[in-house]
Amino acid sequence: MGFKRYMHFVYPYFLLFELLLAPLALFFAYRFREKRRALERFADPALLARLSSANGTRRWLKATLVIGALFFIIIALARPQFGAKLVSVQRQGADVVIAVDVSASMLAQDMKPNRLERAKALLSQLALQMQGNRVGILAFAGTAFWQCPLTLDISSVNLFLQIMDANLIPLPGTALGSAIRLATAGLSKTAPKSKAIVLLTDGEDHNSDAAGAAREAAKAGIKIYTIGLGNPSGEPIPIYDANGTFVEYKKNKKGDVVMSKLDEALLAQIADDTGGAYFRAQDGVMDVGRLIEEIRTLEKQKLSSSLHRSYEDRYQYFLFMGLVLLMAEFFIPATRKVL
């Protein structure tokens, strides 16, 4: 803890109104001079000499009190704070890796515009509601790699989200097991019960032993939440040229159109083996709130510690002085009794 005394203003732009006090003082001076000139036209000079001195002094005193009151009230509006002490703030949360399938099968259009775009939309929703947790992003197709390391800066997650597409990983295929193992390795140094993996995929796996990788994650204390995107009955995979123009649907060696199917059984097994949960994204839409509630049940750990200045409000003193001056001005008569 540290303590330092100095003045800080929460709303410093209010201080600009202080510049209006000088013109106000000139206005008072002008009005008093004009009133004196008007009296000199009609009043006897000897009588005016007896009265104007007292009246002029009182007028100037009242004007000074008004200007002084406004001076202090404007400072109060700027919300001055005297003193600042350093307070240690600790942030607690969970470590969550979101793995997104960017394989060619995610271009299937059983969800509009396609599975991958719906996955990115869901990821964006998740990121918005995961403030306070440390989030990392990895992409996978035939292999997996980190796109955004674990970070408390959720805005960076959305930044990397913009460059995610089906051409991100040149190696074809879908390696769910590789994605789970890479995420598990990234979470290996975090505290038990405070880590999770969220998989956004259609569930297709090309011999990467995804079930075995899930069991390894479970041993490391990691829960996996799977989000299935796609149609269990299958959807053809479109192929586009370099200009983004549709060419044909993907075919196998026999010339048959390949149908990409959502593998709900595998995704449910992965989630069940790790104590997580499986979510089906119907038409690309799911209850993100349910997943967030699941993640909030994870045991919290200390993620960061930082020092922040904590200021003490002192505007009351200036407001009090301003009100005292206004009351004093109110009770001072503009003229004195003349015998």
**Domains of the chain: total:** 2
| Same domain membership, residue 215 and residue 119 | yes
Residue 260 pLDDT: 92
| Same domain membership, residue 315 and residue 295 | no
Q: Is the Cβ–Cβ distance between 59 and 32 less than 8 Å?
A: yes
- Helix then strand count (H, E) for the chain reads 9, 13
Question: How does residue 30 score in pLDDT terms, banded at 50, 70 and 90?
Answer: confident
304 located within any domain:
no
In angstroms, the CA 42 to CA 302 distance is 83
DSSP string, 88-134: EEEEEE-EEEEEEE-SGGGG-SSSSS-HHHHHHHHHHHHHHT-TTSE
In angstroms, the CA 130 to CA 133 distance is 6
| Same domain membership, residue 272 and residue 221 | yes
| Same domain membership, residue 20 and residue 133 | no
| Same domain membership, residue 128 and residue 76 | no
| Same domain membership, residue 153 and residue 281 | yes
| Same domain membership, residue 280 and residue 207 | yes
What's the average model confidence in pLDDT over 204-223? 92
| Same domain membership, residue 163 and residue 34 | no
The CATH number linked to 278 is 3.40.50.410
60-79 residue pLDDT tens: 888 899 999 999 999 999 98
241 located within any domain:
yes
Residue 185 pLDDT: 93
SS (H, E, C) 25-82: HHHHHHHHHHHHHHHHHHCCHHHHHHHHHHHHHHHHHHHHHHHHHHHHHHHHHCCEEE
Question: How does residue 165 score in pLDDT terms, banded at 50, 70 and 90?
Answer: confident
- Please report, in angstroms and rounded to a whole number, the separation of the first and last CA atoms in the chain: 67
Give the CA-trace dihedral at 89, 90, 96, 100, to 10 degrees: 20
Q: pTM of this prediction?
A: 0.64
180 located within any domain:
yes
For residue 218, give the H/E element and its range. helix 210-219
In angstroms, the CA 201 to CA 263 distance is 9
Q: State the angle between helix axes of 115-128 and 288-296 in degrees (0 to 180), rounded to the nearest 10.
A: 50
196 located within any domain:
yes
Q: State the angle between helix axes of 21-42 and 45-77 in degrees (0 to 180), rounded to the nearest 10.
A: 170
In angstroms, the CA 239 to CA 250 distance is 6
Q: Is the dihedral of CA 119, 182, 191, 1 positive or negative?
A: negative
| Same domain membership, residue 262 and residue 325 | no
139 located within any domain:
yes
337 located within any domain:
no
94-114 residue pLDDT tens: 889 999 999 999 999 998 899
| Same domain membership, residue 105 and residue 64 | no
The residue range of the domain holding 317 is 2-85+309-331
218-269 residue pLDDT tens: 999 999 999 999 989 999 999 988 888 899 999 988 889 999 999 999 999 9
| Same domain membership, residue 186 and residue 70 | no
